[in-house]
Amino acid sequence: MFDVAIIGAGASGLTCAINASFEGLSTVMVEKGGIGGQAATTSKIENYPGFPQGIDGQKLMSQFYMQAERLGTHSIVANVTGFKKESDTLFTLVTENDTLPIVARSVVFATGLSFRRLHLPGSDNMRGLYYGPSVHQAPSEYLKNVAVLGAANSAGQAAINLAKYASSVYVINKKPSLDQVMSSTLIKDIATLKNVQVINKCNLATITGKDNKLHFITLDNGQELPVSALFVCIGQLADTSWLQGSGIDISSTVGNFGKIIVDENLLTSIPGVFAIGDVRNNQVHRVSTAVGDGSRVVQHILDYLKGKS
């Protein structure tokens, strides 16, 4: 049995793990994907304090991970598919393909956000279709003519990174210009790149494959673009549908849809169960705010556990 079980090893979960282990709590962190979550998918984070020249997100997150490990956090790679309150003082997490549940005295949801999926015919198993901006998802032979769907900052970062590898990069933006959603630094950077073409006031209509590999995409103005890879950056969602019926309150309001509702102590509707980082309501989506949550939640866990012993 652990004092605290953290679900998710992004910036918030890792910071919680570092601080919980530092305080002497027996800590387990369960991650279903790569260590570092969203922050690890970006090649340069420029607004995280302490790195005047910016820092590669993966590098920053691997430093967080090493710190948690050194302080004694126990890490498990698994997809958590079930959560249950066993008693007033005990919780279990059920993981996919694992018969042994994880038992803990407190639980922290640090499950973040995932990129929205395309729901077009053929999009389920098409090779060359990627979600989020990380260039590293695609084998190099796919990075010739590529497209980015979306126009927020993640799409901007994808376009800038892809321009280093691909001969042409199309950015498909449904709005009249980029400046409605993308930060001005990224817009300026994109304007200097000769191989990036922004197509405004257009949306994706269909994707067409050849041998189940992306061949071309068609826009809603009828334009066909021959691309070998499409990076879909059309917003993110808190995937909390699996928590339905668990007793944890989930928001259904605009702007917080799907997010876990917490109070000022990051406590959910169940005592002993906390939510931090992008998955909780009213959060500003930044690495530094995720770190702030991960750090301060530990004090609330300590207070909670003291009250139970």
Among 3, 5, 13, 19, binds ligand FAD (CB under 6 A): 13
**Token match 């340069």: residue?**
44
Tell me the window of 66-74, 197-205, 254-262, 286-294 that interacts with ligand FAD (CB under 6 A). Answer: 286-294
Residue from 5, 113, 182, 202 that binds ligand FAD (CB under 6 A)? 113
Residues 41-100 touching ligand FAD, rule: CB under 6 A, are 41-42, 45-47, 79-80
Of residues 61 and 219, the one with the C-beta less far from ligand FAD = 61
115-144: contacts with ligand FAD (CB under 6 A)? 133
Q: Site for ligand FAD (CB under 6 A): how many residues?
A: 35
152 in contact with ligand FAD (CB under 6 A) = no
Distance between start and end Cα atoms, the chain: 15
By CB under 6 A, is residue 278 in contact with ligand FAD?
yes
Does 162 help bind ligand FAD (rule: CB under 6 A)? no
Minimum CB separation of residue 14 from ligand FAD in Å reads 7
Nearest approach in angstroms of CB 108 to ligand FAD is 10
- Which residues have CB under 8 Å from 158's CB, separation 6+? 132, 133, 134, 135, 148, 231, 233
Binding segment (CB under 6 A) for ligand FAD, from list 8-16, 162-170, 220-228, 248-256: 8-16
User: Which range binds ligand FAD by CB under 6 A, 19-27, 30-38, 138-146, 247-255?
Assistant: 30-38
Q: Which of 2, 3, 6, 10 binds ligand FAD (CB under 6 A)?
A: 10
Taking residue 222's Cβ as centre, other Cβ atoms within 10 Å add up to 8
Residue closer to ligand FAD (CB basis): 128 or 133: 133
**Which of 16/207 has CB closer to ligand FAD?**
16
**For residue 213, what is the DSSP state?**
E
Identified binder of ligand FAD from the candidate list 128, 156, 272, 277, rule CB under 6 A: 277
Q: For residue 16, give both structure tokens.
A: 């919680």
* 19 binds ligand FAD, rule: CB under 6 A: no
| 286 in contact with ligand FAD (CB under 6 A) | yes
Contact 277, 290 (CB under 8 A): yes
- Residue 8 binding ligand FAD, by CB under 6 A: yes
Catalog residues that contact ligand FAD under the rule CB under 6 A. 7-13, 30-33, 37-39, 41-42, 45-47, 79-80, 110-113, 133, 154, 157, 277-278, 285-288, 290
